[in-house]
Amino acid sequence: MAAPLQRLIPRKTMLRHAPSLTLGLFLIPIGAGLIGTWLPAFGYLPALGGAGLDLESWRRLLTHPSLPAALRLTLTSGILASVLSLALVIAFVSGCHGTRLYHRLHRILAPVLAVPHVAIAIGLAFLIAPSGWLARLISPWATGWTTPPDVATVNDPYGLALTLGLVVKEVPYLLLMTMAALGQVQAARRMAVARSLGYGPVVGWLKTVLPAVYGLIRLPIYAVIAYSLSVVDMAMVLAPATPPPLAVLILRWFNDPDLSLRFQAAAGAVLQLLAVILVIAVWNLLERAVMRLGRRWIVGGRRGGGGGAAAMAAGGAMSLLFAAAGLSVAVLGIWSLAGRWRYPGAFPVDMSFATWGRHLPGLSWAASTTLIAGAVAAALALALALACLENEQRNALRTTNRALWLLYAPLLVPQVAFLFGFQVIAVRAGIDGTWMTLIWSHVLFVLPYVFLSLAEPYRSLDERYARAARCLGASPNRVFWRVKAPMLLRPIAIAFAMGFAVSVAQYLPTLFAGGGRFVTLTTEAVALSGGGGRRVAGVFAFAQAALPLLVFALALGVPAWIHRHRQALRSAP
């Protein structure tokens, strides 16, 4: 007796398979990669003569003299960076929501996010090193230094430089996710109620908005934890080398000419995964404890004051952080142009494009590889995300919580924990070192960001436009191409730019899935940061930062130009 709904929806086989295709694309490499890593961890890797199952690699891993220090460094820097990032974001949003600073930072968030980790790391190193720009700017008049002081501000044994780098990179991400969540929990209305009951702006926010927002940013927080505990590229620039954090140590073993080290490397990769799982599990327990205590605090009745001082401190800290990101990119540009630059001069004596010119061939080669991989990966991810969202809308489906966890899987599983296995299997399948495998590995990390950035605008587009178009005789496909896609041009372009930026930033996937055959701006920048000289490292790192920024500028500019005569779309978010 129900209407034959199925007959109303033209069957689009391709589209119907979009979600499963997407999940398969995700889960197969991660699942296979994990297994391909676990087997050698227990001694099984026939290609290298490991035929049995034993615990030899674990014995060698656990008795390795560098392991305790490496593990300690990983845990301290990773946990500290996560806690600091979250604390800063909560302090800033609770204290500064609605202020001019808040809106200004909101506007520059996306471009700041687009700057790859490695560029930030190298720029930060050029900034805070004893011979870095900050020291030069205040020397010798304020410090009296005429030679760099002998203090380890970069590669320090406690990993503080790495922690700072992680915070600079993770805070904008958490901030973006938090700001997006605010709209979903109707923060303004909650605040209006709290304020009318006499609560101060900061305490009111913490008591009425945060509990709702936290649930929505929980997965992003876990992603930050997982990333901070397993970061490789930033650590190679900012962390100490002897011993390095666990993930870098593992990578060294994987790349060692002595192939037998790969067994203990695989065991290390398993340990890395366990460390991430353990920290997230403990974090989850603490969450519950804080929630229980917080509930008591919420109903305790304390109203809080104006919160002016706290807001100022948080706003100041956040401004400093964004300034650090901006200065990092700026100092890369300056070093890339620098001729002679004697310590402690604030600026180079002369500047030219000489370094750029000298490295033009290598630079353009790396840049084109980066551009192709990024553009194809972002376009593929965009197509998949759009197909999933369109399928969801046509069949009136809801994304479940479990699907969201799967979407986050590539961001929660440490890269080093499965990329080796992915490479082993790619070699077996004869597809290692191909463009396809390289781009596939990038799509894995690009897709979650593209999907998350697109989902909100896609779902909140007034569905009555589509209905009106259907009733005017347009098929679902025509509605998509002629109504939805053009109306969503701006968010679609931004999602593409976001995906492109994520692809550009990929270091480990390029290394492993590319079989070492692909040189991108990122792999070059990391390689050069280890002692290629600041000028040439500046060239590659600046180019690495500039490319995503350029694509972002296009993503904002092109839709604005196309819709220049369309008021309603120009003012749209």
Partner 1 sequence: MNAALVLHAVELMLGERRLIGPLDLSVAPGEIVTLMGPSGCGKSSLLGYLCGTLDPAIRGAGRVMLGVDDISILAPERRRVGILFQDDLLFPHLSVAENLAFGLPAAIHGRAARRARVEAALSEADLEGFADRDPATLSGGQRARIALLRTLLAAPRALLLDEPFSKLDASLRDRIRHFVFEHARLNDLPCLLVTHDPADAQAAGGRVFEAGTSE
One-letter amino acid at 239 equals: A
489 belongs to the binding site for partner 1 (CB under 8 A): yes
One-letter amino acid at 330 equals: A
Distance in angstroms (rounded) separating the CA atoms of residues 114 and 495: 11
9 belongs to the binding site for partner 1 (CB under 8 A): yes
Size of the residue set binding partner 1 (CB under 8 A): 33
330 belongs to the binding site for partner 1 (CB under 8 A): no
Q: Quote the least distance from Cβ 495 to partner 1, whole Å.
A: 18
Compare residues 259 and 472 and give the one whose CB is closer to partner 1: 472
The dihedral formed by the CA atoms of 193, 195, 199 and 204, expressed in degrees to the nearest 10: 70
Q: Which of 159, 135, 162, 158 is nearest to 147 (CA)?
A: 135
555 belongs to the binding site for partner 1 (CB under 8 A): no
Distance in angstroms (rounded) separating the CA atoms of residues 71 and 62: 11
Compare residues 219 and 469 and give the one whose CB is closer to partner 1: 469
342 belongs to the binding site for partner 1 (CB under 8 A): no
The DSSP string of 249-262 is HHHHHHH-SSTTHH
Q: Quote the least distance from Cβ 16 to partner 1, whole Å.
A: 16
Distance in angstroms (rounded) separating the CA atoms of residues 215 and 85: 17
1 belongs to the binding site for partner 1 (CB under 8 A): yes
Q: Which of 279, 378, 425, 487 binds partner 1 (CB under 8 A)?
A: 487
Q: Binding segment for partner 1 among 8-16, 68-76, 195-203, 433-441 (CB under 8 A)? A: 8-16
Q: Binding segment for partner 1 among 191-199, 245-253, 479-487, 523-531 (CB under 8 A)? A: 479-487
Distance in angstroms (rounded) separating the CA atoms of residues 127 and 383: 39
One-letter amino acid at 30 equals: I
469 belongs to the binding site for partner 1 (CB under 8 A): yes
Q: Binding segment for partner 1 among 128-136, 340-348, 486-494, 533-541 (CB under 8 A)? A: 486-494
Compare residues 87 and 474 and give the one whose CB is closer to partner 1: 474
Stretch 358-417 residues interacting with partner 1 (CB under 8 A): 396
Q: Quote the least distance from Cβ 184 to partner 1, whole Å.
A: 21
The DSSP string of 448-471 is HHHHHHHHHHHHHS-HHHHHHHHH
| Residues across the chain | 573
The DSSP string of 516-557 is T----HHHHHHHHHTTS-HHHHHHHHHHHHHHHHHHHHHHHH
Compare residues 397 and 436 and give the one whose CB is closer to partner 1: 397
The dihedral formed by the CA atoms of 401, 406, 410 and 413, expressed in degrees to the nearest 10: 90
Compare residues 2 and 289 and give the one whose CB is closer to partner 1: 2
Q: Which of 28, 403, 409, 474 binds partner 1 (CB under 8 A)?
A: 474
Q: What is the DSSP letter of 498?
A: H
Q: Is the dihedral of CA 522, 121, 497, 210 positive or negative?
A: positive
Q: Binding segment for partner 1 among 160-168, 172-180, 549-557, 565-573 (CB under 8 A)? A: 565-573
281 belongs to the binding site for partner 1 (CB under 8 A): no
Q: Which of 106, 428, 467, 517 binds partner 1 (CB under 8 A)?
A: 467
464 belongs to the binding site for partner 1 (CB under 8 A): yes
Cβ neighbours of residue 91 under 8 Å, at least 6 residues apart? 310, 313, 314, 317
Q: Is 367 left (phi over 0), alpha (psi -120 to 50) or beta?
A: alpha
Q: Binding segment for partner 1 among 180-188, 314-322, 401-409, 464-472 (CB under 8 A)? A: 464-472
468 belongs to the binding site for partner 1 (CB under 8 A): yes
Distance in angstroms (rounded) separating the CA atoms of residues 525 and 332: 11
5 belongs to the binding site for partner 1 (CB under 8 A): yes
Q: Which of 354, 482, 553, 558 binds partner 1 (CB under 8 A)?
A: 482
Q: Quote the least distance from Cβ 391 to partner 1, whole Å.
A: 14
Q: Which of 413, 410, 434, 441 is nearest to 503 (CA)?
A: 441
Q: What is the DSSP letter of 483?
A: I
Q: What is the DSSP letter of 482?
A: I
Compare residues 123 and 559 and give the one whose CB is closer to partner 1: 559
Q: How far is CA 92 from CA 52, 120, 225, 367, in A?
A: 54, 22, 20, 37
Compare residues 402 and 464 and give the one whose CB is closer to partner 1: 464
Compare residues 3 and 142 and give the one whose CB is closer to partner 1: 3
558 belongs to the binding site for partner 1 (CB under 8 A): no
7 belongs to the binding site for partner 1 (CB under 8 A): yes
Ramachandran angles phi, psi of 331, nearest 5° = -70, -30
461 belongs to the binding site for partner 1 (CB under 8 A): no
Q: How many beta carbons lie within 10 A of that of residue 90, not counting itself?
A: 19
Q: Quote the least distance from Cβ 486 to partner 1, whole Å.
A: 4
Compare residues 146 and 571 and give the one whose CB is closer to partner 1: 571
Q: How many beta carbons lie within 10 A of that of residue 410, not counting itself?
A: 24
Compare residues 354 and 468 and give the one whose CB is closer to partner 1: 468
475 belongs to the binding site for partner 1 (CB under 8 A): yes
Q: Which of 151, 233, 131 is nearest to 533 (CA)?
A: 131
10 belongs to the binding site for partner 1 (CB under 8 A): yes
Compare residues 9 and 553 and give the one whose CB is closer to partner 1: 9
| Contact between 543 and 360 (Cβ < 8 Å) | no
282 belongs to the binding site for partner 1 (CB under 8 A): no
Q: Is 338 helix (H, G, I), strand (E, B) or coil?
A: strand
Q: Which of 465, 481, 517, 530 binds partner 1 (CB under 8 A)?
A: 465
11 belongs to the binding site for partner 1 (CB under 8 A): no
Q: Quote the least distance from Cβ 363 to partner 1, whole Å.
A: 39
One-letter amino acid at 522 equals: T
Q: Quote the least distance from Cβ 562 to partner 1, whole Å.
A: 8
Q: Binding segment for partner 1 among 108-116, 467-475, 507-515, 530-538 (CB under 8 A)? A: 467-475
Q: Which of 329, 267, 234 is nearest to 63 (CA)?
A: 267
For partner 1, the binding residues (CB under 8 A) are 1-5, 7-10, 396, 462, 464-465, 467-475, 482-483, 486-487, 489, 563, 565-569
